[in-house]
Amino acid sequence: MGNLVELERQLIENRSMKTYEETGLYEEAVDGLFDEKNPDCILSLIKGFKDETENHEVMFSNLHGIEYFSKTIGLEKYIKMIIPLLKGLQVDAYDWSETIYLRLLNNEKSFSLLSESLRTFDSQDKEVIKLITENLIKRNPERFKEKGEIILSAL
């Protein structure tokens, strides 16, 4: 497969998945980077997200691989690991950062743990959480206002 640096490069270079070949290379990189025994692979896999991709379904497989660790390392540790990584997605993959965050909000246990752990995040992480939360409330207040206000008040 290749070493970590090569696989990360391959993942990033092919995340647009404009061709069948790029899609195959992206999937190959995800498979090479995913290590079910090492949650640190999340740090590499997170770099594979891009809003301007041709193949959201394949990109969701990356997300599912990352979310696998919420079960193996525990939800609390997963949240503390994933939230700081959202700031790295703000330029090329804002929509994916929102999707990752939404999946935490929509699960009662992760929402509760997220709410409890907000004070432990640094100011940059809190700003990203605030931005995403405010955008979700604006876009769909009926669905997100209640949970969003809980999050914003805890920041």
Give the model confidence (pLDDT) of 117-139 as tens digits.
999 999 999 999 999 999 999 99
- In this structure, the number of other CB atoms found within 10 A of the CB of residue 47 comes to 20
User: What pLDDT band is residue 2 in, cutting at 50, 70 and 90?
Assistant: low
Indicate whether this model's pTM tops 0.85. yes
Residues 90-119: tens digit of each pLDDT: 999 999 999 999 999 999 999 999 999 999
The single residue listed with the structure tokens 């997220």 is 114
Q: What is the CA radius of gyration of the chain?
A: 16
Q: How far is CA 95 from the centre of its chain?
A: 10
- Alpha-carbon distance 47 to 82, whole Å? 12
- In this structure, the number of other CB atoms found within 10 A of the CB of residue 124 comes to 11
